[in-house]
Amino acid sequence: MALKDTLEDKLQNLKQDAERDKQSELDRPKLIAEWQQAVNWLFARVREWLTAYEQNGLLSFSEQEIPITEEATGPYRIRMMELHAGKATIVLRPVGRFIIGATGRVDMHVLGRMIETERVMFLRTTRFGATEEEWGILIPERAGSLGRGRRVGNLPNWSRRNLQRLTQENLKEAVERLLG
């Protein structure tokens, strides 16, 4: 009798798991669309906040779609942004929607320099007391300019204490640091 109960319990659990997976499949397009919207919002703010430099011919923007695959969503396409400043290109590349401690991450780095000490992170979070997610920026603590004169053992401090609500001022600071 205990064996029957155990088998029935296991079969019931498997059925519930399958139903949950089916519901999750239905939610995937919605989750992807919401994530794409959040990234588009971030890119619109970056462009808006740096538009004066574009108007002065100091900066230009381009965007393209890239493929991403996450375990929770499977494959999808999302936009990435590039900021062109003379010979330098700064890339804003979505990492994923499902990030531990956040509801999305976009990395910003100079093309060709994707090392830890020369990367800025945008994290989507409710950490700032809002009821809805908003973008924060994480600029690693540093001595001197970002990435200059650093040894391998001198990695940036990615502490969440350094996470700030994204503003025009800290965006400009991050771009300035990346351009060195």
pLDDT tens digits along 42-91: 999 999 999 999 999 999 999 999 999 998 889 999 999 999 999 999 99
Token pair, residue 107, equals 């990395």
d(CA 89, CA 111): 5
pLDDT tens digits along 141-151: 643 444 444 43
Confidence category of residue 135, pLDDT binned at 50, 70, 90:
very high
Instruction: Give CA angle at 38 (142, 92), nearest 5°.
Output: 40
**Per-residue pLDDT averaged across 115-135, rounded?**
80
d(CA 52, CA 25): 43
Q: What is the mean pLDDT of the chain?
A: 82
d(CA 107, CA 83): 13
Dihedral sign for Cα atoms in the order 97, 99, 105, 109: negative
pLDDT at 19 over 90: no
Sole residue written with tokens 């020369």: 118
**Per-residue pLDDT averaged across 151-173, rounded?**
71
pLDDT at 20: 58
Nearest CA-CA partner of 94 in 60, 118, 64: 64
pLDDT at 23: 57
Confidence category of residue 133, pLDDT binned at 50, 70, 90:
confident
**Per-residue pLDDT averaged across 112-132, rounded?**
78
pLDDT at 11: 81
Q: Which residue has the higher pLDDT, 33 or 24?
A: 33
Burial class (CB in 10 A: 0-12, 13-18, 19+), 28: middle
* DSSP per-residue codes, 34-84: HHHHHHHHHHHHHHHHTHHHHHTTS-EEEEEEEEEEETTTEEEEEEEEEEE
Nearest CA-CA partner of 93 in 62, 117, 71: 62
pLDDT at 113: 72
Q: Which residue has the higher pLDDT, 14 or 119?
A: 119
